[in-house]
């Protein structure tokens, strides 16, 4: 997780007065100050700075210019900033960081730098010191970003940590959440400026990106990297969940939440339950709502065609069932969008970010080497999966679902620590796990389909008869999965346990 000192949240313009009043009452000694900000952002025509995560901006300051340079350091885990007065608009001015200075010198960027976009805002700032002595500033910023004729409206707050614990930023945002509706702003001002005037790219569901961990990390830092990536995966799919009909957006968001839950299990030895509970409660509520939509989607995409192919009921009756489940799915999707666009979602994200910030702040004494920790975690979750798999023939539906979850957790554990092990061995192991997951997933889909049928709003005798016959057929026609699972289980047992080699 990058070490950040600024947190941006958007709010409706009409709520600015409410925010000002609250801050005046909550922090009576914080005297606000206002200023007009006009900044120009620079880059090369081929966006050389943007490609390196660097932003360069220039603002007038009396008879001089204020140059602000931001850039990633420490393998992207921290963002540094340099601000200095320069006498002319020639860019860049003096740069203290040697690596960034050499980047500009070696690539001779100075001659290619051009104005890209401008930022014009009215900024009102409140200096704040919390009960623990952390020093922060709240900036209310109203204005716009412009590039040619294209414009992007800005009305948001920035919480800036001046001194102290980064967790203080997120706790302050959580305190503001019940007062005004705040939404975490996923893009920086620079990112939004670069996007202005660009062709609108259709939204595409985002899959989980690989997490990079290495043996030199402590377990806490590895947990932070894995959980941060899962949160990023979740946030990447939020816009599509709110505006698109593609069910893959919700599926990928659920995958991200499951990976967070798996991270909790993987790193259980170093996580205090009390700390995690503040994150778990809103996350479980979100996952529950998204699960209803996903269940109905899977029924419509997979189960319904299977029922049609088997001629379980007449086409007219099946069409009536399809219409009923589609209506049900639309209602769940509206519910999911309302929840996703609510304070519950923002509370979940801010709580998670606050908790992740503690992982950086806490000192690890005698922390185990990550590879040793990974080996123990992998062996633990392999043992849990095998314990149930060995009893396969006597497992009921609930226990088989539990086995599926344990195999999934083992797979996520393998993928989390994969960069530390031989790629080919990891790939073979994951492939065998996925084969078992797929069969167990198909069996679980039938159980989920039965639950979807139970929730159908039965309005007449014909629909009631259709639901009953489909439910009965699903319960009786699952003959091949048993043998297929035993075959894949046998193949898995023959796969080398790569972390014990």
Asked if residues 311 and 138 have their Cβ atoms less than 8 Å apart, the reply is no
DSSP state of 200: P
- Give the number of other CB atoms < 10 A from CB of residue 202: 6
Q: What percent of the chain has pLDDT over 90?
A: 60
Residue 165 and residue 241 share a domain: no
- Per-residue CA distances from 375 to 215, 378, 479 (Å): 12, 5, 37
Please compute the mean of the pLDDT values over residues 455-481 and round it to a whole number: 84
Asked if residues 217 and 370 have their Cβ atoms less than 8 Å apart, the reply is yes
**Tens digits of residue pLDDT in 145-196:** 999 889 999 999 999 999 999 899 999 999 999 999 999 988 888 889 988 8
Asked if residues 229 and 419 have their Cβ atoms less than 8 Å apart, the reply is no
Residue 246 and residue 158 share a domain: no
Residue 51 and residue 177 share a domain: yes
Domain, as residue range, for 353: 219-500
Q: Does any domain span residue 249?
A: yes
**Tens digits of residue pLDDT in 107-157:** 677 778 889 999 999 999 999 999 999 999 999 999 999 998 899 999 999
Of residues 253, 232, 243, 237, the one with CA closest to residue 204: 237
Could you write out the three-class secondary structure of 291-336?
A: HHHHHHHHHHHHHHHHHHHCCCCCHHHHHHHHHHHHHHHHHHHHHH
Residue 233 and residue 94 share a domain: no
Residue 118 and residue 46 share a domain: yes
Please compute the mean of the pLDDT values over residues 392-397 and round it to a whole number: 89
| Ramachandran angles phi, psi of 58, nearest 5° | -130, 130
Residue 241 and residue 188 share a domain: no
| Dist CA 324 CA 334 (whole Å) | 16
**Tens digits of residue pLDDT in 51-98:** 888 998 888 887 788 888 888 876 545 677 778 777 665 667 778 888
Helix segments in 362-422, DSSP class H? 370-389, 397-417
Q: Does any domain span residue 360?
A: yes
The count of domains in the chain is 2
| Dist CA 40 CA 243 (whole Å) | 32
pLDDT of res. 442 = 87
Our CA angle for 147, 153, 154, nearest 5°, is: 110
**Tens digits of residue pLDDT in 9-28:** 999 999 999 999 999 999 99
- Biggest CA-to-CA distance, the chain: 83
**Tens digits of residue pLDDT in 407-422:** 999 999 999 999 999 9
Residue 250 and residue 188 share a domain: no
Residue 113 and residue 240 share a domain: no
pLDDT of res. 482 = 81
Q: Does any domain span residue 208?
A: no
Residue 117 and residue 67 share a domain: yes
Structural tokens at position 196: 């202005």
Q: Does any domain span residue 426?
A: yes
Q: Given 195, 210, 228, which residue is the final one in a domain?
A: 195
Residue 274 and residue 171 share a domain: no
In this structure, what CATH number is given to the domain that contains residue 259?
1.40.20.10
Q: Does any domain span residue 259?
A: yes
Residue 311 and residue 249 share a domain: yes
In this structure, what CATH number is given to the domain that contains residue 161?
2.40.320.10
Asked if residues 279 and 355 have their Cβ atoms less than 8 Å apart, the reply is yes
Residue 267 and residue 172 share a domain: no
Q: What percent of the chain has pLDDT over 70?
A: 94
| Dist CA 439 CA 408 (whole Å) | 12
Q: Give residue 371's pLDDT band: very low, low, confident or very high (50, 70, 90).
A: very high
Q: Does any domain span residue 213?
A: no
Q: Does any domain span residue 1?
A: no
Mean pLDDT of the chain: 89
pLDDT of res. 1 = 45
pLDDT of res. 96 = 82
Structural tokens at position 298: 């899977």
Q: Can you state the angle between helices 315-340 and 343-361, rounded to 10 degrees?
A: 60
Q: Does any domain span residue 186?
A: yes
Instruction: Judge if pTM exceeds 0.85.
Output: yes
Q: Given 149, 179, 195, which residue is the final one in a domain?
A: 195
């Amino acid at each position: 997780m990058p070490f950040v000192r600024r947190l941006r949240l958007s709010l409706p313009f009409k709520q600015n007065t409410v925010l000002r009043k609250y801050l005046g009452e909550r922090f009576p000694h914080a005297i606000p100050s206002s200023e007009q900000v006009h900044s120009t952002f620079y880059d090369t025509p081929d966006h050389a700075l943007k490609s390196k995560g660097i932003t360069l901006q220039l603002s007038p300051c009396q008879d001089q210019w204020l140059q602000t340079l931001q850039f990633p350091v420490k393998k992207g885990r921290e963002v540094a900033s340099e601000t200095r007065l320069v006498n002319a608009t020639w860019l860049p001015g003096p740069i203290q960081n040697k690596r960034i200075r050499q980047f500009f010198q070696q690539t001779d960027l100075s001659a290619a730098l051009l104005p890209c976009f401008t930022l014009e805002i009215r900024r009102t700032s409140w200096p704040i010191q919390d009960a623990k002595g952390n020093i922060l500033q709240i900036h209310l910023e109203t204005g716009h970003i412009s590039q040619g004729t294209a414009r992007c409206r800005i009305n948001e707050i920035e919480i800036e940590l001046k001194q102290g614990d980064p967790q203080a930023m997120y706790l302050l945002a959580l305190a503001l959440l019940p007062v005004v509706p705040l939404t975490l702003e996923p893009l920086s001002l620079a990112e939004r400026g670069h996007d202005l005037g660009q062709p609108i790219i259709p939204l595409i569901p985002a899959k989980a990106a690989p997490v990079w961990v290495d043996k030199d990390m402590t377990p806490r830092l590895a947990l932070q990297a894995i959980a941060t990536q899962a949160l990023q995966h979740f946030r990447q799919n939020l816009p599509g969940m709110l505006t698109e009909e593609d069910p893959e957006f919700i599926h990928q968001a659920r995958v991200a939440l499951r990976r967070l839950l798996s991270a909790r299990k993987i790193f259980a030895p170093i996580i205090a339950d009390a700390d995690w509970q503040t994150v778990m409660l809103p996350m479980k509520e979100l996952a529950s709502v998204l699960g209803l939509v996903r269940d109905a989607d899977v029924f419509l995409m997979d189960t319904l065609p299977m029922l049609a192919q088997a001629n379980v009921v007449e086409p007219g009756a099946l069409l009536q069932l399809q219409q009923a489940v589609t209506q049900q799915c639309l209602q769940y999707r509206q519910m999911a969008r309302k929840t996703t666009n609510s304070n519950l979602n923002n509370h979940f994200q801010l709580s998670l970010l606050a908790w992740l910030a503690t992982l950086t702040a806490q000192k690890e004494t005698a922390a185990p080497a990550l590879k040793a920790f990974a080996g123990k975690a992998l062996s633990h979750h392999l043992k849990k999966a095998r314990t149930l798999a060995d009893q396969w023939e006597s497992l009921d539906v609930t226990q088989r679902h539990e086995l599926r979850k344990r195999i999934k957790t083992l797979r996520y554990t393998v993928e989390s620590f994969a960069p530390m092990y031989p790629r080919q061995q990891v790939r073979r192991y994951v492939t065998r796990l996925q084969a078992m997951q797929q069969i167990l997933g198909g069996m679980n889909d039938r159980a989920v389909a039965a639950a979807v049928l139970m929730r159908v709003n039965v309005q007449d005798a014909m629909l009631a008869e259709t639901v009953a016959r489909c439910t009965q057929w699903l319960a009786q026609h699952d003959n091949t999965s048993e043998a297929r699972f035993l075959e894949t289980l046998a193949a898995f047992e023959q796969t080398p346990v790569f972390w014990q080699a």
